[in-house]
Structure 1
Amino acid sequence: MSSIPNRGLMQRLLIRKTVEQVQRETESSPLKRTLGPWNLVFLGIGCIIGAGIFVRTGNAAALHAGPAVLLSFLVAGIVCALAGLCYAELSSTLPVSGSAYTYSYTTVGEFAAWIMGALLLLEYGLAASVVAVGWSGYVVSLLGDYGIVIPLELTGPSGHPILRDGVAVLAADGSPMTSLFNLPAFLICVALGALLVFGVSESAKVNNVIVAIKMTVIVAFILIVGWYVIQHIDTLKANWDPFIPEATGADGEFGWSG
């Protein structure tokens, strides 16, 4: 007979691994550490400062918060700091691979870790697809400025009506045109997937270059716009009154909800 004690369903779902056990298991892991501290810093910055800072800030100010978007950034910064502290504790307590899955396994239990693993897969899949679609739109627009036109059928989700300036594009027979496939989004996913397969250190170097460019653009924007605001403060301060525009009544449109 087995010496393993019989456990009930709830006990099996709540089985946890100790920190020492997790560390022993990773000692024989075939994965090797190839990322140094600077690679990790740039990786973190790249995750924090995403494409949204370039495309959502204007929409948030114009349609939701007005000048009070400054408060939105402040609240978001506090939330990000708290999340960063959580991950700092996670990585220092469990300096092993596995991310939140391993952390959940040692603190809550096996079932919670299984749920966390599924959520991570869902999160990464959705995040990659959304960013790829956004990148696709920018690339199509940029190539169009240089006279390189990608067929509209290859720039959107399958079966989705093709819109131009908010109006449906019609085929020769008068029926609405629909997209077949988002080719640019597919290609960038394939390219980045191939880069990750090629090697972690190589992908980290590419990430470092991208983050450096992104940070340069942001710092340049802050300095140039900041200098312009200082030079024209008397005329621009009228745009900040009222600082929190009156709410329209719709949720998320100005006021405190915005």
Structure 2
Amino acid sequence: MKIENESSGLVRSLSLSQAIMIGVASMIGGAIFVLVGPGISAAGPALIIAFLLNGVITLFTALTYAELGSALPATGGGYKWVREGLPRPNSYLSGWMAWFAHTIAGSLYAVAFGTFFGHLLESAEIIDNSTGIPLEKLFAVIAIIIFAFVNIRGSSHTGKVGSAITFTQLAIIAVLIIAALAAMTFTNPNWPTNFRDFFP
């Protein structure tokens, strides 16, 4: 009986636009929706400098990923790059650290979504949390289950859902920017006075 060796590998099921949206989503993250309030209370108007510095750092990170991705176009991402450039234990550690970092980040995003979604339903008087059930944890678990199911369906479904969520994120940010500019122009024409105490 003759056994034929067949090469196996990952199927490229993501389009260019979906891959770009995944990269954009990783750069936007969820902290911009979660930590802006605490950042303003701690840094005041100087938070603008933090945003500018973060943009520069993100740009260099994106350029690094683009350079390494074009130089080593193979599956594995950061693990592959570390394995090619450093001794083997480093790639093993980098893989586990990346897994741990993504786990923590995913937990933060899920809890943040659950908290905001619960507050939204309560403010709209759609639900009444008089029972004392921690809605933020309930919605966080539901979100994790939904996204786990989407990932199980395959990378094609993940790319489509991820693109839709990224477009939604960009739309929300655009609406916030437009609303802020409109408020500065029409509602509060004396907005420069808010920047007097730039460094609290």
TM class, shorter-length: 0.7 to 0.9
Q: Give deviations 1:71-91, integer Å, cap 9, x for gaps.
A: 111111111112112211221
One of 163, 180, 196 as aligned partner of 1:241: 196
Higher relative contact order (CA 8 A, sep 6+): 2
Q: Give the Cα separation in 1 of the matches to 2:33 and 2:51.
A: 14
Q: Give deviations 1:63-116, integer Å, cap 9, x for gaps.
A: x21111111111111111121122112211111211111111100021100000
Structure 1 residue 55: Cα displacement:
2.7
**8 A contact 2:34–2:112 mirrored in 1:** no
**Is 1:142 matched with 2:120?**
yes
Q: Structure 1 unaligned runs (5+)?
A: 1-26, 157-181, 246-258
Corresponding residue SS for 1:152: coil
Structure 1 residue 36: Cα displacement:
1.7
Structure 1 residue 218: Cα displacement:
1.2
Please report the TM-score for the alignment, with normalisation by the length of structure 1: 0.69
Match of 1:167 in 2: none
One of 37, 43, 49 as aligned partner of 2:16: 37
Match of 2:92 in 1: 114
One of 146, 158, 161 as aligned partner of 1:203: 158
Corresponding residue SS for 1:115: helix
CA RMSD across the alignment: 2.0
**Is 1:152 matched with 2:107?**
no
One of 84, 94, 103 as aligned partner of 2:72: 94
One of 168, 171, 177 as aligned partner of 1:222: 177
Please report the TM-score for the alignment, with normalisation by the length of structure 2: 0.87
**8 A contact 2:40–2:47 mirrored in 1:** yes
Deviating above 6 A after TM superposition, structure 1's stretches of 4 or more consecutive aligned residues are: none
Q: Output the amino acid matched with 1:59.
A: P
Match of 2:3 in 1: none
Q: Give the Cα separation in 1 of the matches to 2:30 and 2:188.
A: 29
Percent identity for Structure 1 against Structure 2: 26
Q: Output the amino acid matched with 2:51.
A: F
Q: Give the Cα separation in 2 of the matches to 1:220 and 1:58.
A: 17
**8 A contact 2:18–2:159 mirrored in 1:** yes
Please give the residue correspondences for 1:49-68 in structure 2 after superposition, counting only pairs within 5 Å: 49-62=28-41, 64-68=42-46
**8 A contact 1:140–1:149 mirrored in 2:** no
Aligned length: 193
User: More helix by proportion, 1 or 2?
Assistant: 2
Corresponding residue SS for 1:28: coil
Corresponding residue SS for 2:190: helix
**Is 1:123 matched with 2:101?**
yes
Q: Output the amino acid matched with 2:197.
A: P
Please give the residue correspondences for 1:5-16 in structure 2 after superposition, counting only pairs within 5 Å: none
One of 30, 33, 52 as aligned partner of 1:74: 52
